[in-house]
Amino acid sequence: MIARILSGIIGLFMLYTCVGWLVNPANAAAGLAMPLLEGMGGNTQIGDFTSFFFTAGVFACIGAYRSEHAWLYASISLLGSAAVFRSLAVVAHGSVPLTQAIVFEIIMTAVLVLCVYLMKKENA
Protein backbone atom coordinates (compact mmCIF):
# COMPACT_ATOMS: atom_id res chain seq x y z
CA MET A 1 0.00 0.00 0.00
CA ILE A 2 2.86 2.39 0.78
CA ALA A 3 4.19 1.95 -2.77
CA ARG A 4 0.85 3.01 -4.21
CA ILE A 5 0.71 6.06 -1.96
CA LEU A 6 4.27 7.18 -2.70
CA SER A 7 4.02 6.68 -6.47
CA GLY A 8 0.62 8.39 -6.46
CA ILE A 9 2.00 11.42 -4.62
CA ILE A 10 4.88 11.68 -7.08
CA GLY A 11 2.48 11.32 -9.99
CA LEU A 12 0.14 13.99 -8.66
CA PHE A 13 3.07 16.35 -8.08
CA MET A 14 4.24 15.83 -11.66
CA LEU A 15 0.71 16.48 -12.96
CA TYR A 16 0.46 19.60 -10.81
CA THR A 17 3.68 20.84 -12.38
CA CYS A 18 2.29 19.98 -15.82
CA VAL A 19 -0.76 22.17 -15.14
CA GLY A 20 1.61 24.96 -14.11
CA TRP A 21 3.24 24.80 -17.55
CA LEU A 22 -0.20 25.00 -19.16
CA VAL A 23 -1.65 27.79 -17.01
CA ASN A 24 1.39 29.97 -16.27
CA PRO A 25 4.44 28.89 -18.29
CA ALA A 26 6.48 31.97 -17.34
CA ASN A 27 6.15 31.11 -13.65
CA ALA A 28 6.86 27.43 -14.33
CA ALA A 29 10.01 28.36 -16.27
CA ALA A 30 11.14 30.68 -13.47
CA GLY A 31 10.73 27.75 -11.06
CA LEU A 32 13.37 25.94 -13.10
CA ALA A 33 15.69 28.98 -13.10
CA MET A 34 15.10 29.97 -16.72
CA PRO A 35 13.19 32.61 -18.63
CA LEU A 36 10.24 31.73 -20.81
CA LEU A 37 11.46 31.83 -24.38
CA GLU A 38 9.52 33.60 -27.11
CA GLY A 39 8.42 32.41 -30.54
CA MET A 40 9.24 28.89 -31.63
CA GLY A 41 11.65 28.47 -28.73
CA GLY A 42 8.80 29.13 -26.31
CA ASN A 43 6.60 26.68 -28.18
CA THR A 44 9.26 23.99 -27.84
CA GLN A 45 9.98 24.84 -24.22
CA ILE A 46 6.32 24.78 -23.16
CA GLY A 47 5.50 21.70 -25.23
CA ASP A 48 8.50 19.67 -24.11
CA PHE A 49 8.29 20.52 -20.41
CA THR A 50 4.52 20.00 -20.33
CA SER A 51 4.85 16.62 -22.02
CA PHE A 52 7.69 15.61 -19.67
CA PHE A 53 5.67 16.33 -16.53
CA PHE A 54 2.44 14.97 -18.03
CA THR A 55 4.02 11.65 -19.01
CA ALA A 56 5.91 11.23 -15.72
CA GLY A 57 2.74 12.06 -13.79
CA VAL A 58 0.30 9.92 -15.73
CA PHE A 59 2.45 6.80 -15.67
CA ALA A 60 3.18 7.15 -11.94
CA CYS A 61 -0.54 7.61 -11.24
CA ILE A 62 -1.51 4.63 -13.39
CA GLY A 63 1.08 2.50 -11.59
CA ALA A 64 -0.30 3.65 -8.24
CA TYR A 65 -3.93 3.14 -9.22
CA ARG A 66 -3.42 -0.31 -10.73
CA SER A 67 -0.70 -1.34 -8.26
CA GLU A 68 1.36 -2.55 -11.24
CA HIS A 69 5.06 -1.74 -11.12
CA ALA A 70 5.56 -1.85 -14.89
CA TRP A 71 3.80 1.50 -15.28
CA LEU A 72 6.41 3.19 -13.09
CA TYR A 73 9.30 2.50 -15.46
CA ALA A 74 8.39 5.42 -17.77
CA SER A 75 8.46 7.85 -14.84
CA ILE A 76 11.69 6.34 -13.56
CA SER A 77 13.26 6.68 -17.00
CA LEU A 78 12.18 10.30 -17.46
CA LEU A 79 13.22 11.50 -14.01
CA GLY A 80 16.41 9.44 -13.83
CA SER A 81 17.62 10.42 -17.28
CA ALA A 82 16.87 14.09 -16.54
CA ALA A 83 19.23 13.90 -13.55
CA VAL A 84 21.89 12.11 -15.61
CA PHE A 85 21.71 14.55 -18.52
CA ARG A 86 21.62 17.63 -16.26
CA SER A 87 24.79 16.31 -14.63
CA LEU A 88 26.34 15.56 -18.01
CA ALA A 89 25.59 19.14 -19.10
CA VAL A 90 27.65 20.36 -16.15
CA VAL A 91 30.57 18.05 -16.84
CA ALA A 92 30.63 18.12 -20.65
CA HIS A 93 29.45 21.66 -21.34
CA GLY A 94 30.29 23.64 -18.23
CA SER A 95 26.69 24.62 -17.50
CA VAL A 96 25.79 25.85 -14.06
CA PRO A 97 24.15 22.98 -12.16
CA LEU A 98 20.58 23.38 -10.98
CA THR A 99 21.45 21.30 -7.94
CA GLN A 100 18.02 21.29 -6.33
CA ALA A 101 16.46 19.88 -9.52
CA ILE A 102 19.13 17.19 -9.84
CA VAL A 103 18.72 16.15 -6.20
CA PHE A 104 14.91 16.17 -6.55
CA GLU A 105 15.09 13.96 -9.66
CA ILE A 106 17.46 11.53 -8.00
CA ILE A 107 15.28 11.27 -4.89
CA MET A 108 12.06 10.82 -6.90
CA THR A 109 13.75 8.18 -9.07
CA ALA A 110 14.98 6.31 -6.00
CA VAL A 111 11.53 6.45 -4.39
CA LEU A 112 9.93 5.10 -7.58
CA VAL A 113 12.51 2.30 -7.78
CA LEU A 114 11.63 1.45 -4.17
CA CYS A 115 7.94 1.46 -5.17
CA VAL A 116 8.71 -1.03 -7.97
CA TYR A 117 10.44 -3.29 -5.46
CA LEU A 118 7.57 -3.02 -2.96
CA MET A 119 4.90 -3.61 -5.61
CA LYS A 120 6.74 -6.68 -6.92
CA LYS A 121 6.97 -7.99 -3.37
CA GLU A 122 3.28 -7.28 -2.65
CA ASN A 123 2.03 -8.79 -5.90
CA ALA A 124 4.23 -11.89 -5.78
Q: Is 61 exposed, middle or buried (0-12, 13-18, 19+ CB in 10 A)?
A: buried
**pTM for this predicted structure:** 0.92
| Domain around 81 | 2-123
Cβ pair 79, 108 in contact under 8 A: yes
User: How many domains does the chain divide into?
Assistant: 1
As a whole number, mean pLDDT of residues 23-49 equals 95
CA 61 vs CA 30, 32, 55, 105, 116: distances in Å: 26, 23, 10, 17, 13
As a whole number, mean pLDDT of residues 61-90 equals 97
pLDDT band at 124 (very low <50, low <70, confident <90, very high): confident
As a whole number, mean pLDDT of residues 6-10 equals 98
